[in-house]
Amino acid sequence: MKSRFRPCFATVALLLSLSACSRPPVGLYETASFEAVEYVRRSGKPLEMDIFVPLDGRQSRPAVVLWHGGGWGYGDRSLERDLARFLASMGYVTATASYRLWTDGATYPAAVQDALASVKFLRSKCREYGIDPDRIAAGGESAGGHLALMVGLARDHAVFKDDSYPGVRSDIQAVIDIYGPTDLVSVCEGGGPVVHYLCEGFMGCKAPESPESWREASPISHVRPDAPPVLILHGDRDSVVVYAQAVALAEALEKAGTKSRLVKVTGGKHAWGLHFNSVENQRTLPVIVDFLARTFCRDMPTSDSSQPSKVMAQQPQRRAPAD
């Protein structure tokens, strides 16, 4: 099943400026989609992903796997389909994967286990989908950003006890965190009743009842010097996962010597990714493409990594309805 997708002109211009880089492929491509691909089975029930492949004639390309937000208890993989299509049109095999939700009884670490399984599935199917197994990135929004950070930063994936695909690696080479929580204790303590409900639902307990598991489930606890490059996109008006969460992670990554970049989206609130044509999305898509291109070209820029970049993305007075 083939589909066409037209990215914003700003990103096209950015890609042309990076055309001297031979890896990853840069340009605009038609895409083929593979819907509802089962990647693992849990308690007899399948978990699925949608995979979008660029029709660029190449045999091996970088890949990106995305996880949706929704407080680890709501939403589904369809929320990331527009971003997945977009990245596929840029030359990346891109998947958006479902994971078990705590509202269905699957508390921590179930979602992390499923995130690891989706990475291992793509690596095990690298020939079928034309994936370079050594160039896989992970990303997501809110709860999905948290999962991407957990997969990217945690050194020992064995602690999460995922038993899928024995012998297949679950490491990734880049992380895209879009307003994800980084310290579950502080985000819960500083949040309102809804944030408490979501965090405690995900963990299956209150923080004082199991402080070690809450620490283990916080990406900031896993920061290490040899972690893959991390891109953090976060709005400074986010009242759900406050901007301070992003700053704390960026500072910890800098202290550890990990390559990273924090982009402050001025005026950005939470969950802008739910609307692909939002001002915040159109402002940050070129940043994501630039990050992936530079990372997979082995040329991660570090000149401004110690200071947050700023992306002006205030809401206009009026906006045309999404297509």
In a domain, 300, yes or no: yes
- Within a domain: residue 318? no
Closest C-alpha to 136, from 18, 302, 296: 296
Task: Examine the pLDDT at 6 and tell me if it is beyond 80.
Answer: no
Q: Per-residue confidence at 297, pLDDT binned at 50, 70, 90?
A: confident
Write the pLDDT tens digit of every residue in 227-256: 999 999 999 999 999 999 999 999 999 999
Would the pLDDT of 267 be above 90? yes
Q: What is the pTM of this model?
A: 0.87
Q: How many domains does the chain have?
A: 1
pLDDT in tens, 141-184: 999 999 999 999 999 999 999 999 999 999 999 999 999 999 99
Q: Is residue 322 part of a domain?
A: no
Three-class secondary structure of residue 310 per DSSP: strand
CATH classification of the domain holding 287: 3.40.50.1820
Residue 244 lies in a domain: yes
In a domain, 250, yes or no: yes
Hey, which residues does 312 pair with through a beta bridge?
266
Q: Which domain holds residue 21?
A: 2-312
Q: How confident is the model at residue 120 (pLDDT cuts 50, 70, 90)?
A: very high
Q: What is d(CA 288, CA 273) in angstroms, rounded to the nearest whole number?
A: 13
In a domain, 132, yes or no: yes
Q: Supply the pLDDT for residue 28.
A: 80
pLDDT at residue 56, rounded to an integer: 83
Res. 21: pLDDT tops 90: no
Establish if 145 belongs to a structural domain: yes
**Residue 320 within a domain:** no
Per-residue pLDDT for 20 more than 80?
Answer: no
Distances from the Cα of 210 to the Cαs of 101, 139, 214, 260, 279, in angstroms? 20, 27, 7, 30, 40
pLDDT in tens, 40-68: 999 999 999 999 999 988 889 999 999 99
Residue 309 banded pLDDT, cuts 50, 70, 90: low
